[in-house]
């Protein structure tokens, strides 16, 4: 009996101990939760402080690197970079004589304004010049931008350009885009305006030059027309371009169909490159604004006996003469084909000679433009300046 009572008392004491433990745990848990919350709060505060310290350190390092003592040397001017080049070397690098390059920069500067072009030959605010020299090594002049632009157009890599002209990669691409816009705003092609104004003198001068080339036999021709396929990178399928395969031309690569007209001296008068590579020359030409303008001025051209010449890919028009097909040897048709070909060959020479100086430009420019917008963009064209003693080559966009 006694043993049974003692065992009951012992069991009761164990139950009380368990209750005390539960009470202690109930009190301890909120305390632990509070401590965890405080630790997390302190952790966030420490992370913010560490982030601020890292930012201050980067800012301090940037300030130190931009001090005059540690700043890089002043950026060289275009004159300093090229003064050691001979005339032959200069022409090979930029595809034009030194005097022509200066003339190009002068005309672009006058067109866009010196505040935009920033010619190294003109003075500007001393404060801006000092700040640019102190923190960036000096301003990038319009001459340097134009030189980098022409070097890329001539086939140079941006890796070579940024080493020569002390420019970053982003600055090279920005300069390329700026120069392309400057040239577009400065130069235009003459044929469209001459047709719109019905400028008889303009067409007479062109016709007379072609006539002299044929000893006065073939008169009235004012331009030679032909098509050229411009190789581009393979387009990708997008929402706006569901079928990029249409750019694949019969020559075995992706391309644009470029229609161009030149005069007897192989100077480009007009160009359009808005059509896909698989498009036929005749279809591409008939779909241009120039063709519609020629149709509107058909009577004017017929009245003065002015016309273009093209190969057998084009349809015969009153303003566009093509060769006879299957002309018998030594016949009148064969004689006509000879002199027609004598005038038409000018555009072939233009493609082979003049275009080859800047052929890389088409690949470069097209690579920088989304392919699905190429069919609505103005044409990339090669503008040859009308000077007899200089070869003046500039890239621009046609206006029609």
Does residue 309 or residue 77 have the better pLDDT? 309
Lowest mean pLDDT among 22-26, 31-35, 68-72: 68-72
Does residue 41 or residue 313 have the better pLDDT? 313
Task: Tell me how far CA of residue 381 lies from CA of 55, 263, 345, 399, in angstroms.
Answer: 49, 15, 19, 10
pLDDT digits (tens, 9 = 90+) for 152-193: 877 788 888 878 888 888 888 888 888 888 887 887 788 999
Q: Is the pLDDT of residue 85 over 70?
A: yes
pLDDT confidence tier of residue 396, bands split at 50, 70 and 90: very low
Percent of the chain with pLDDT over 90: 26
Q: Tell me the DSSP string of 271-297.
A: EEEEEETTS-HHHHHHTSHHHHHHHHT
Nearest 5°: the CA angle 69, 75, 81 is: 140
* pLDDT confidence of residue 191: 92
The upper half-sphere exposure of residue 85, i.e. CA atoms within 13 Å in the direction of its Cβ, equals: 15
Q: Is the pLDDT of residue 126 over 80?
A: no
Nearest 5°: the CA angle 68, 71, 74 is: 100
pLDDT digits (tens, 9 = 90+) for 222-244: 999 999 888 888 888 888 888 88
Instruction: Please compute Rg for the chain using Cα positions.
Output: 37
Tokens of 212: 């002299």
| Pair type for strands 393-397 and 380-384 | antiparallel
Tokens 């001090």 sit at which residue?
67
* pLDDT confidence of residue 296: 95
Lowest mean pLDDT among 65-79, 310-324, 369-383: 369-383
Q: Is the pLDDT of residue 123 over 70?
A: no
The 3-state DSSP class for residue 388 equals: coil
Query: What average pLDDT does the structure give for the chain?
Result: 77
pTM over 0.85: no
Average pLDDT over residues 343-371: 63
Pairwise CA distance, residues 156 & 123, whole Å: 31
Q: Is the pLDDT of residue 380 over 60?
A: no
* pLDDT confidence of residue 258: 86
Tokens of 187: 């130069």
Does residue 365 or residue 378 have the better pLDDT? 365
Q: Is the pLDDT of residue 54 over 70?
A: yes
pLDDT confidence tier of residue 389, bands split at 50, 70 and 90: very low
* pLDDT confidence of residue 18: 58
Task: Tell me how far CA of residue 281 lies from CA of 126, 173, 227, 229, in angstroms.
Answer: 56, 33, 6, 10
Does residue 258 or residue 381 have the better pLDDT? 258
Pairwise CA distance, residues 40 & 336, whole Å: 94
Q: Is the pLDDT of residue 368 over 60?
A: no
Lowest mean pLDDT among 111-125, 213-227, 311-325, 375-389: 375-389
Tokens of 7: 């065992």
Q: Is the pLDDT of residue 64 over 60?
A: no
290-293: long-range contacts at Cβ-Cβ below 8 A with a sequence spacing of 24 or more?
290/191, 290/192, 290/195, 290/261, 290/400, 293/192, 293/195, 293/196, 293/400
* pLDDT confidence of residue 207: 94
């Amino acid at each position: 009996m006694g043993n049974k009572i003692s065992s009951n008392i012992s069991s009761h004491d164990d139950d009380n101990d368990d209750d005390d433990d539960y009470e202690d745990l109930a009190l301890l848990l909120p305390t632990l939760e509070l401590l965890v919350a405080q630790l997390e709060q302190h952790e966030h505060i420490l992370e913010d402080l560490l982030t601020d310290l890292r930012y201050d350190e980067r800012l301090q390092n940037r300030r130190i690197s931009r001090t005059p003592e540690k700043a890089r040397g002043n950026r060289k001017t275009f004159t300093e970079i090229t003064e050691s080049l001979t005339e032959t070397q200069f022409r090979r690098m930029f595809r034009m004589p030194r005097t022509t390059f200066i003339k190009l920069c002068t005309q672009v500067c006058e067109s866009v304004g010196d505040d935009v072009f920033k010619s190294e030959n003109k003075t500007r605010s001393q404060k801006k010049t000092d700040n640019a020299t102190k923190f960036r090594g000096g301003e990038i002049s319009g001459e340097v931008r134009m030189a980098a632009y022409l070097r890329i157009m001539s086939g140079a890599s941006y890796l070579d350009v940024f080493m020569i002209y002390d420019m970053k990669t982003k600055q090279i691409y920005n300069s390329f885009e700026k120069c392309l816009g400057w040239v577009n705003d400065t130069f235009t092609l003459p044929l469209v305006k001459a047709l719109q104004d019905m400028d008889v003198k303009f067409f007479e001068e062109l016709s007379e030059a072609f006539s002299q080339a044929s000893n006065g036999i073939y008169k009235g021709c004012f331009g030679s027309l032909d098509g050229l396929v411009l190789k581009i990178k393979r387009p990708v399928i997008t929402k706006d371009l569901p079928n990029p395969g249409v750019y694949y031309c019969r020559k075995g690569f992706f391309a644009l169909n470029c229609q161009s007209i030149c005069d007897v001296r192989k100077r480009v008068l007009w160009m359009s490159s808005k059509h896909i590579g698989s498009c036929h020359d005749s279809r591409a030409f008939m779909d241009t604004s120039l063709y519609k303008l020629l149709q509107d001025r058909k009577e004017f051209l017929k009245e003065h006996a002015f016309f273009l010449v093209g190969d057998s890919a084009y349809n015969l028009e009153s303003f566009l003469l093509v060769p006879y097909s299957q002309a018998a040897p030594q016949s009148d048709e064969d004689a006509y084909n000879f002199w027609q070909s004598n005038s038409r060959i000018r555009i072939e020479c233009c493609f082979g000679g003049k275009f080859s100086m800047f052929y890389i430009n088409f690949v470069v420019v097209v690579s920088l433009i989304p392919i699905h917008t190429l069919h609505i963009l103005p044409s990339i064209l090669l503008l040859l300046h009308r000077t007899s003693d200089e070869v003046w080559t500039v890239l621009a966009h046609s206006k029609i």
